[in-house]
Chain A
Amino acid sequence: MGYRVMIGLEMHCEISETNTKVFSSARNDYNEYPNVSVRPVDMAFPGTLPVVNKEAVKMALMTSIVLGCQQPEYLYFERKNYYYPDLPKGFQITQETKPAPIGSYGVFNYELKGEKKSVRINNLHLEEDAASSDHYPSGSRINYNRAGVPLLELVTEPDFRSADEAVAFLETMRSIYQYLGISEADSKKGQVRCDVNVSIMDDSLDESDPKNWGTKVEMKNVNSFGGVRDAINYEIERQTELLDEGRGDEIEQETRRWDEESGTTIHMRSKVDAIDYKYFVEPNIPKFKIPKEWLEEIKSKIPRLPSERKEDYINNYGITDYDATIIVKEKKVSDFYEECIELGADPKKASNWITTNLLGNLNKLELEFDDMTLTPAMLKELIDLVENKEISSKQAKEVFEDVLTSGKTPKMVVKEKGMKQMSDEGEIIKIANEVLDENPKAIEQYKNGRTNVVDFLTGQIMKKTRGTANPTIARSTMASEIEKR
């Protein structure tokens, strides 16, 4: 029989861009020193109370709007009660589905390799993160910096049919969080964590009837998108194998842990051991009516998102879908590109520089976008130098590599290196004839109709001038000089 895979995601993303934590006035920052961003409430000292951070609520509402969710009339928070050393209060302040959380029932569109896809969002809720713990052979240590950091948890319906779809969605969401100025969404900093659920059903049955769905297996704490892909594929394979062998009843409704090292999933707990979190409304936070005007104001402040920008680049700047996709993937890159254009740079040239040289070089040097000293104004300057034939494009590449991290402007580098493009026709004619004298065979081939040797000979001019000759002039000169022979 054929199988259909159903995948659902829970994506936790820390809000990194508020000044303070979600229910505490401690600073919300990613700090290398443990236990420095802490207030009494973060360690649950007796008598401390939560105070809601309005900025975090605003960001959560903005995300809810972008996901196409409904926003509740009243804002409530709930307690999720369980004991764990990294949870000082013995409960997490979060939102359950009743009363309504910050977002419910949305439909969201994303793309996978140019193909439009859509996923239903079950809900989005705002909650607090737990402390983090480090485990040593001698014991464990708890760092309360993370305790109380605002966290957005997004729960999708099981609408993904492959690991690729799930990962494409996650990547889209990551870039949206960055575009909205809500989070760096950096999984290396532990800001994004996922729970994944996978079930497999008989392809011939009606998927709209939940009775036909396969048994759902959940995988907790998958901390990278690569991990999500591997975990899903591993689980699909594991479950398919069981089904193929007629051992489908061995697939248990359970929670498994993704083990990055072995690349396998490991049983954590069965459905029967599910924890009863004893949810109830947090009594210390009065219910809050969300004013319509506030929602409108938030809506009006949603910045242009990647999908919109991409369309704009393709339609108005004439760049390819491929390049546009690369540019909008990260907000910083897209902003850089838009600034170049605003400064008057040619959109296509700027796009070429960014997608090939800029990102390629950063990648090669293992640098982050923020590490470079190149500004949009510098890139524009560089493009102009080539345009005005002051330097050759080959020279420009050399200049580019320098200005990327040196803090110098392209003009400074050109001056320093004594680079000037050779545009003097008399000089180029002289070199062209030298080249022709050295290549009598090529002249013969030309005369026999192989006109493409001109390219080879132009290359020789470039070689002789160590790339300083203006390539256009070099080519036209060579074309006319060879005719004279």
Chain B
Amino acid sequence: MRYMDKSIEEIHEALVKGEVTSRELIDESIEMSRKIQDKCNAFVTILDDVKEAEVTDELLSGIPYGVKDNYSTKGVLSTGSSNTLKDYVPFFTATAVENLTKKGAVFVNKTAMDEFGMGGTGTTCHTGVVTNPWDSSRMCAGSSAGSAAAVAAGVYPYATGSDTGDSIRKPAAYCGIVGYKPTYGMISRYGLFPFASSLDHLGVLARSVRDAAIVTDGMKGIDKYDMTTWDSSDIHLLDSLDGKVKGKKLCYIKEICDINNYPHASDELKAHLANFMDTVDKCKKLGMEVDEVSVDQTLLNASPSVYVVISCAEATSNMSNLTGFIFGPRAEGDSWDTEMKNYRTKGFSPLIKRRFVIGSYVLQAQNKDRYFHNAQRVRRLIVDKWKELFEKYDGVILPVGTGPAKKLEGSKDILDKNTSVLEEHLQIGNFGGFPSITIPNGFVDGLPVGVNITGNCYDDANVLNMAYALESSMDFKGQVVKEGK
């Protein structure tokens, strides 16, 4: 009997009834981890000495889960999938993991990711490429690639993720699962290796909206070590899932969703957008109003550049602590600056170095206003536009990406100009710190695709409830990869 492919509530019930023990669950999860490691290369570390936890009233108690490797975990290797931290064992644990531990949750592995979260392919981990469990010739997207692959493959019911542009929500779509990042500051960032502090969110990858709600209830909370957290003690996400969405209002954006915008659309893209419109119909059948709205194309087109400028600028600064002096493998050199230069030159992948160059460039005195300050101004304009939509609508519903997971070969991080907004609009959820959830909404070419709902700050319960109702009207809840290609 397998349990790791079930929902948290089902597993909890089995534990309480004594059908299975925490020990057996951990063993099953670790065995699955090894299997998926061979298949997908999803982990940096699989723990071999995991103590079971006492089963209590807490739904998460005694149940295994995975932690993305950019979460600081005391006594357990935490690399951020980077050679610069390949031997780093922290002496403190991220608040979010600490909170889950208090609920009795047990983490069994650390999942691979694009180096420090700075990639969207799952191919830039220092341990190698993470492949998609549905089809090993395809990527998981990133950066939470390992977490997405493991949850989709049934290693455990959920894993933590982090999301600076779409790093939870895109891999979730490519792997046919749920990816949710709550409002900025609901979950403490203390102990998360930073990429771009003003955009970084913690969140969860799971197989159902209910599970995502349970886990987020467990991770969230105000934290004295993170000044950007806020008190969410009166928000109970699981309890607020009632599926009652009649009269709720959603909108989708014509400039992103209309197939006529893409004259050279591939069959995959056509099928993906047609499937999205089916999903919109499902929303309507549930009693929600869904409007098509129009947003200035120029503003939308600016979004990817705004993201690059702000995220690279913050990243350059955030990662200046990586010198090899205090932690990380110290490099050789006859002076402190050559030591540091050697460490950074050897340790970072070319993709990251490219981002550092961009980040430094846009912050230079002579460029700062033109690039960095303008990016901040446009960020504000985009967020204001979305806030304006939220005055009228409970959420914005949009397709995730241009279709199913991309082929690993010839993928590179190069974007087609025409579809760049469709590919990257999830960043807007990071610009505004909005609660944003991706759920699976079908298959294209036998591979899963996803849809996203994003709502206003602090309106997490509403956003989750709409996703919950929509999920219940489709057949993809709890899906696990049975036999991938």
Chain A contacts to B: CB under 8 angstroms: 40, 43-52, 79, 81, 83, 85, 88-91, 140, 276, 278, 280, 283-286
Contact = CB atoms under 8 A, between A and B. Distances in A.
Interface residues of B, number: 45
Indicate the member of A43, A48, A89, A285 with the most B CB atoms within 10 Å. A48
Contact of A276 (B226, B317, B320, B364): B364
- If over half of A's interface residues share one DSSP class (helix, strand or loop), that class is named, otherwise mixed; here it is loop
A47 B72 contact: yes
Interface stretch (B24-32, B83-91, B347-355, B453-461): B83-91
Interface stretch (B41-49, B276-284, B322-330): B322-330
Contacts of B262: none
A283 B326 CA distance: 24
14 contacts: A40-B92, A44-B326, A46-B72, A46-B90, A47-B193, A51-B224, A83-B320, A83-B337, A90-B319, A278-B365, A280-B372, A283-B196, A283-B314, A286-B227
A47 B317 contact: no
Nearest to B88: A46
Given A45-B72, A285-B227, 18 more contacts: A40-B91, A45-B326, A46-B72, A46-B90, A48-B190, A49-B226, A79-B317, A88-B321, A90-B321, A90-B323, A91-B320, A278-B317, A278-B363, A278-B364, A278-B365, A280-B314, A280-B368, A283-B197
A83 B313 CA distance: 16
Interface in B345-401: 360, 363-365, 368, 372
Contact of A47 (B192, B227, B314, B319): B192
- If over half of B's interface residues share one DSSP class (helix, strand or loop), that class is named, otherwise mixed; here it is loop
A130 to B, nearest CB: 14
A286 B185 CA distance: 11
B189 interface: yes
Nearest to B360: A278
A43 B227 contact: no
B264 to A, nearest CB: 39
Nearest to A140: B336
A76 to B, nearest CB: 13
Contacts of B321: 44-46, 88-90
A90 B193 CA distance: 15
B142 interface: no
Contact of B363 (A46, A48, A81, A83): A81
A28 B336 CA distance: 28
Nearest to B196: A283
B317 A91 contact: yes
8 closest pairs, A vs B, by CB?
A90-B320, A278-B363, A44-B321, A283-B198, A283-B197, A47-B191, A47-B72, A46-B193
Given A46-B80, A47-B94, A47-B190, A89 B325 contact: no
Contacts of A44: 321, 326
Contacts of A81: 316-317, 320, 363
B340 interface: yes
Contact of B227 (A83, A89, A140, A284): A284
A424 B92 CA distance: 80
Contacts of B119: none
Interface string B207-227: 000000000000000001111
A79 B318 CA distance: 10
A85 B325 contact: yes
Interface string B177-192: 0000000000001111
A88 B326 CA distance: 8
B227 A51 contact: yes
Contacts of B325: 85, 88
Nearest to A85: B336
Nearest to A41: B225
Given A83-B340, A89-B320, A280 B326 contact: no
A416 B190 CA distance: 65
B341 to A, nearest CB: 10
A202 to B, nearest CB: 32
